[in-house]
Chains A and B, each alone.
Chain A
Amino acid sequence: MIDYLREIISGTWSLFVGLGITIRYFFQPVVTVQYPHQTLPMTPRFRGHIELVKDEETGETKCIVCGMCQKACPSNCITVNGEKREGVKGKVLTEYTLDFTKCSLCGLCVESCPTAAITFSKDYNLAGVRKEAYIFDLKKRLEAKN
């Protein structure tokens, strides 16, 4: 009998304690960020899709078309093509395509590049309506950025 009453009293008290906690949070400020009206800056290491890095001296990419990134990628997203040109040592990059529909942002390509020619971008606003919009031509993007 005593246990029965004790359980009722302690149970009811636990309910009131719970109510007290939620009403305390009711009066505290919100912790959400109202996204389209407010945005947060991305951290420096944030992994967006990769982009080509501009070489300050030559104004071109640092890519030497070695194909290490293409070999390292587990999902075969990267296609790199280059050609030999007159008077230029080494290959010149003609095409760098990233199929972002398959990329898993693992970073094996960035890690394997010997000249640090690619890096992660901070781009996260990538909503689109067509799949073709996600086949990124990184060379064109680099030229558009300059």
Chain B
Amino acid sequence: MSAFAESEAKETFVLNLGPQHPATHGVLRVKLTMDGEYIAEAEPVLGYIHRMHEKMGENRTWAQFLPNTGRMDYLHALAYNHGYVSVVERAAGIEVPERAEYLRVITAELNRVSSHLLWFGAFILDLGGFSPLLYAFDDREHILDLLESVTGSRLTYCYFRFGGVYNDIDDNFVPGTRAFIKRLRERMPMYHNLVTKNIILMKRLQEVGPISAEMCRKYGATGPVCRGSGINFDVRKHEPYSIYPEFDFDVPVYDQCDSMARYMVRMDEIEQSLRIIEQALDKLPEGPVMAEKVPKILKPAKGDYYHAVETARGSFGLRVVSDGTNTPYRLKLRSPTFSNLSLFGEACQGMLLPDALALMGSLDLVIPEIDR
């Protein structure tokens, strides 16, 4: 796992944070040039899980690409589903009924909460605390059970369709979700007492891994990374889509720029997602969940279409170029984590290795999404 090569000019050696990790980073290789204890350069090496999703997009029909969207970032799969069906609906001019929009938002926000809970557990596991992971997974099991009763899957959802969703919810979903919201709101103070206010964690995260706002703009980092550096950008508020304009929620922005700020942004986002879900459950209308008259063989008009959604990791953008046939001509997926990771090389110069690991954990990396 460790390689050793010395260079004559400076007293540096190359250390390989190999593709296999004991922590949950996925198959990411980082070539670190270490100057004693400090990192001189860091170069992430990607491609270990490149599965050619964009190429597959060119060889599948529009509907056949749907399972792929759930496999890119499997932790927030429904948002990726949402992005893809939205861009195709924009291309083909399909109207989505209201109940379907509400169901999309509710399930996507539940998925966002589960993604943030898993990130929380894995991040603290990286830093050496083993128990908060299992407490977070306990809460996450409730979300997974709720989403399983609706979509049938626990992780890689393929629930959205062009013009609506695959099926309607059953009777237990709304009371179950309300009970879950109540339960999680009662558990959040416990997480803050156990983890956020813990002096060891505060020393580990405060003023560690500063990422300035200019660095975020330079590399195009979005999501909690840029919101932890003071940039107020959330696709749900600034390029609104679906029915998000109807909900009243805040976008947490912290400007300390350190790992603690990114951590707090995600914890506050959990609470805001719970608010959105509550409002959506209150306003859930009756009606069909699928648009009528969606052609079985979809052939959108020729053109170039773009749509972005806010995932747990940032702004996921899709660009489709349609040439009027039943397969896309080009499908470009803009992965938020790729932009977030690209600032790692510059941000971790001169840092100690454990601080760089805390920074990497706070970026919330899901490598299959980077490599697509």
Cβ of B267 to closest chain A Cβ, rounded Å: 16
Residue A17 at the chain B interface, CB threshold 8 Å: yes
Contact of A45 with B158 at beta-carbon distance under 8 Å, contacts A22-B131, A74-B60, A111-B166 already known? no
Specify the chain A residue showing the minimal Cβ separation from B172: A43
Cβ of B353 to closest chain A Cβ, rounded Å: 24
Specify the chain B residue showing the minimal Cβ separation from A48: B152
Cross-chain contact A46 with B148 (CB below 8 angstroms): yes
Residue B63 at the chain A interface, CB threshold 8 Å: yes
Cross-chain contact A21 with B60 (CB below 8 angstroms): no
Cross-chain contact A120 with B152 (CB below 8 angstroms): yes
Cross-chain contact B152 with A107 (CB below 8 angstroms): yes
CA distance A7 to B206 in the complex (A): 14
What total of chain B residues lie within 8 Å of the partner, measured CB to CB?
34
Specify the chain A residue showing the minimal Cβ separation from B141: A31
The contact of A14 among B149, B170, B197, by CB within 8 Å, is B197
Of residues 159 to 208 in B, which have CB atoms within 8 Å of A's CB atoms? 161, 166-167, 170, 190, 193-195, 197-200
Residue A15 at the chain B interface, CB threshold 8 Å: yes
Residues of chain A with a CB closer than 8 A to B197's CB: 14, 17
Cross-chain contact B194 with A108 (CB below 8 angstroms): no
Cross-chain contact A107 with B198 (CB below 8 angstroms): no
Residue B64 at the chain A interface, CB threshold 8 Å: yes
- Against B, the Cβ 8 Å flags (1 = close, 0 = not) of A34-47 are 00000000011111
The contact of A44 among B67, B71, B166, B170, by CB within 8 Å, is B170
Cross-chain contact B66 with A106 (CB below 8 angstroms): yes
The contact of A108 among B64, B148, B150, B156, by CB within 8 Å, is B64
- Against B, the Cβ 8 Å flags (1 = close, 0 = not) of A87-128 are 000000000000000001111100110000000100000000
CA distance A17 to B197 in the complex (A): 9
Specify the chain B residue showing the minimal Cβ separation from A120: B152
CA distance A106 to B156 in the complex (A): 9
The contact of B66 among A11, A108, A112, by CB within 8 Å, is A108
CA distance A47 to B190 in the complex (A): 35
Residues of chain A with a CB closer than 8 A to B198's CB: 14-15, 18
- Against A, the Cβ 8 Å flags (1 = close, 0 = not) of B137-162 are 01001000100111111001010010
Cross-chain contact A45 with B151 (CB below 8 angstroms): yes
Residue A146 at the chain B interface, CB threshold 8 Å: no
CA distance A101 to B339 in the complex (A): 34
Cβ of B60 to closest chain A Cβ, rounded Å: 5
Residues of chain B with a CB closer than 8 A to A111's CB: 161, 166
Residue B65 at the chain A interface, CB threshold 8 Å: yes
- Against A, the Cβ 8 Å flags (1 = close, 0 = not) of B23-40 are 000000000000000000
Of residues 65 to 89 in A, which have CB atoms within 8 Å of B's CB atoms? 72-75
Cross-chain contact A11 with B199 (CB below 8 angstroms): yes
Residues of chain B with a CB closer than 8 A to A74's CB: 60, 64-68
Residues of chain B with a CB closer than 8 A to A58's CB: none
Cross-chain contact A10 with B67 (CB below 8 angstroms): no
Cβ of A26 to closest chain B Cβ, rounded Å: 10
Residues of chain B with a CB closer than 8 A to A17's CB: 193-194, 197
Contact of A46 with B166 at beta-carbon distance under 8 Å, contacts A21-B190, A22-B194, A106-B66 already known? no
Specify the chain A residue showing the minimal Cβ separation from B161: A111
Residues of chain B with a CB closer than 8 A to A44's CB: 149, 170
Cross-chain contact A21 with B149 (CB below 8 angstroms): no
Of residues 59 to 84 in B, which have CB atoms within 8 Å of A's CB atoms? 60, 63-68, 71
The chain B residues found within 8 Å of chain A, CB to CB, are 60, 63-68, 71, 131, 135, 138, 141, 145, 148-153, 156, 158, 161, 166-167, 170, 190, 193-195, 197-200, 296
15 A-B contacts (beta carbon < 8 Å)? A7-B199, A17-B194, A18-B193, A25-B131, A43-B145, A43-B149, A44-B149, A44-B170, A45-B167, A73-B64, A74-B65, A104-B158, A105-B152, A106-B67, A112-B296
Could you list 18 further interchain pairs (A-B, Cβ under 8 angstroms) beyond the known A45-B151, A46-B152?
A: A15-B199, A18-B195, A21-B190, A21-B193, A22-B131, A22-B194, A25-B131, A25-B135, A43-B148, A43-B149, A45-B148, A45-B167, A74-B65, A74-B66, A104-B156, A105-B152, A107-B166, A111-B166
